[in-house]
Structure 1
Amino acid sequence: MTLIVSGLAEVPAIVAKRRPSHMITLLDPASMIGTPEGLEPDRHLKLAVNDIAEPMDGLVLPQETLVHNLIRFAADWDETRPMLIHCWAGISRSTASAFVIACERSPDAAELDIAMALRAAAVHASPNRRIVALADDVMGRRGRMVDAVAAMGDYDYNLARPFEFSARHGHAG
């Protein structure tokens, strides 16, 4: 199983080269994009959300419904082709979503192992803490997802680049 995580700017090239079967877009409402050519509209989940962890006037805070939508959408993915997950920069909302899907797909893997595989794949990954905390609650992980992301340590957003992440058992690839 391969998840490709990127920023918005890289989406057209990744769709053309890798031909993902599914795509998740996490952007603020004003920046939402249409479904790229070559991808079926029902295989493109659009989540209008800002990259925030606390309420802020005029911005869309991630809610529990976002996590339910991620899990439901990923459940229909047969893994034969990659899934592309992107946000504006490929640092926070998209890496949180990849982590959530990886945890959901690998229920027997330790959350810490998945988080460390994410860190190994992307030194710039800084999963949105609110999305992770909501998923931790929804998935009944008792704080293990939150603790695992905290254990990832510092990140370097200057090194942001598209990366692949194999969700199965937390292996980076």
Structure 2
Amino acid sequence: MQSLAISMLTICGISELPDQKERAVTHVLSILDPDHPDPEAFGAYDPHHRTILRFHDIINPIEGMILPQAEHVEAVLRFGDEVAAGRAQRTEGHLLVHCHMGISRSTAAMLTLMAQSTPEESEDRLFERLVEIRPQAWPNSRMIAFADDCLSRNGRLVDALRRHYGRQIGRKPEFAQWMHELGRGREVEMAA
């Protein structure tokens, strides 16, 4: 895949979407809960390419909820291919990836897109860049595992995710409690 040819990368939550409308967003990847309405904020945006994915931010099966699947990550990668394919039509672009809070699904998707567009970049450097974009990043581990497989990273993305979780807990210890409360204690254990 060619470079995304995107000069600006943004990750945010739904409540932050109105703040992005003046920033010349050219591409949007929206990740929403299946029953959540489409955010109204996009009505104020300039024309842009947008893909919407719908699944829950969980890592274990929960009755009545849609667990992230390989096909969701494959859709993220197809979105990356679409962004790269359109690079000849622009000199720069602004990619916005959002979920509900801008912490888990969106950061996993952005990490996947960065890994796709820069296959030579080390996994740890990808996570460093992710934190530069979104300091509170806590990527969904299930999505990262699928991305690792799809991108033939041979477990290196998952290993780097473990180190990332450890750094995030060291920086902000309350992450451990929050993730346990959300049923994501396995991710906290990954950092140990």
Kindly tell me the number of residue pairs found equivalent between the two proteins: 157
Distance 1:104 1:27 in 2: 22
Q: Tell me which structure has the larger Cα radius of gyration.
A: 2
Q: 1:115 and 2:121 equivalent?
A: no
CA contact (8 A) 2:99 2:105 kept: yes
Q: Which structure: greater helix fraction?
A: 2
Q: 1:63 and 2:69 equivalent?
A: yes
CA contact (8 A) 1:32 1:48 kept: no
Corresponding residue for residue 98 of structure 1: 110
Distance 1:7 1:115 in 2: 19
* Consecutive unaligned residues in structure 2, runs of 5 or more: 1-5, 176-192
Of residues 107-116 and 95-104 in structure 1, the stretch that sits farther from structure 2 once superposed is 107-116
Task: Note the C-alpha offset of 1:157.
Answer: 9.7
One-letter code aligned to 1:5: I
One-letter code aligned to 2:97: I
Task: Note the C-alpha offset of 1:139.
Answer: 1.0
Percent identical pairs in the alignment equals 31
TM score, norm. by length of structure 2:
0.75
Corresponding residue for residue 29 of structure 2: 24
Q: Which SS does the other structure have where 1:145 is aligned?
A: helix
The CA RMSD measured in Å over matched residues stands at 2.2
Query: Which of these residues, 136, 139, 151, is aligned with residue 127 of structure 1?
Result: 139
Distance 2:150 2:96 in 1: 23
Q: Deviations over 1:78-112 (max 9, x none)?
A: 37211110011100000000100000010111111
Distance 1:85 1:55 in 2: 24
Q: Which SS does the other structure have where 1:18 is aligned?
A: coil
Alignment of 1:1-173 (within 5 A): 1=6, 2-14=8-20, 16-33=21-38, 36-37=42-43, 38-40=45-47, 43-77=49-83, 78=87, 80-152=92-164, 153=166, 154-155=168-169, 156=172
* Consecutive unaligned residues in structure 1, runs of 5 or more: 160-173
Answer 1 or 2: higher relative contact order, Cα 8 Å, separation at least 6: 1
Task: Note the C-alpha offset of 1:120.
Answer: 3.9
Distance 1:158 1:73 in 2: 33
Corresponding residue for residue 168 of structure 1: none
Q: Which SS does the other structure have where 1:135 is aligned?
A: helix
